[in-house]
Amino acid sequence: MNEDSTHFGFQQVPTEEKARKVAEVFHSVASRYDLMNDLMSFGIHRLWKRFAINIAGVRPGDKVLDLAGGTGDLTERMVRMVGAKGGVVLSDINASMLEEGRRRLLDAGICGNVEYVLADAEQLPFPDNHFDIVTMAFGLRNVTRKERALASIQRVLKPGGRLLVLEFSKPVVPGLAPVYDVYSFKVLPLMGKLVAQDASSYRYLAESIRMHPDQETLKGMMEAAGLSGVEYFNLSGGIVAVHRAYKY
């Protein structure tokens, strides 16, 4: 694969087209994104996200960036944790997802200590050494140039700050991978068709998971971006993993 092309699921597309294609997927699914997450994971995604927040060590007064934060479910938890002296920036590259997040948080009665920023993870519009914590849940695999995004995150973290990446990964339990394949490529598109009237977007999501770096590869990418102390935690047999890294 050269610099002029990249993967969109299993397809090869011109690099400059990937962001547009990903945007189309999330514009399509935004209004039913939370419902589909519950159905696809049988609600377990909430436990994965809770684990990620727990090991992030969010404290009162922290300044947090919830990157690719979508519908704001992590932001909703963390804004309560940072308190009146802290703040959370909910950021996403997709306007439909960000608007869904804003609506959801307002419905939950959250209107203070939250900022909404439309931003590209590869070119974050924030000062150097700005955030105590950056979280990114199920967003990194959709980024065209992951190395640039990780370097951008490293830049905006304060010294001593932490990055938490929750993402689908590679199953490590023997016998799990073939079962997971059947579920991903047969069941998910069917659920997308029945619930969201969009089978193709959920087929892309399944394919994007398979194209995402495995646990060790992503760890190496984080280290190459200047992050330290990188470790990861496999959840649900490695179907997802949480990577935690620090800026020293």
Distance of alpha carbon 69 from alpha carbon 142, whole angstroms: 13
177 is in an annotated binding site: no
* 121 annotated as belonging to a binding site for a ligand: yes
Q: Angle at CA 113, nearest 5°, toward 49 and 124? A: 70
Taking Cα atoms as reference points, which of 64, 76, 72, 112 lies closest to residue 92?
72
The CA dihedral of 20, 22, 25, 28, to the nearest 10 degrees, is: -50
Q: Give the strand pairing for 5-8 and 87-92.
A: unpaired
CA-nearest of 122, 228, 216 to 169 is: 216
- On whether 19 is known to bind a ligand per the annotation, the reply is no
Sign, CA dihedral 9-90-51-30, equals negative
Is 92 labeled as ligand-binding? yes
| Token duo for residue 169 | 């990964």
Separation CA 65–CA 91 (nearest Å):
7
Which residue from 35, 37, 32 is spatially nearest to 47, judged by alpha carbons?
A: 37
Q: What is the CA radius of gyration of the chain?
A: 17
Please report, in range form, the residues annotated as the binding site for S-adenosyl-L-methionine. Answer: 71, 92, 120-121
Please report, in range form, the residues annotated as the binding site. Answer: 71, 92, 120-121
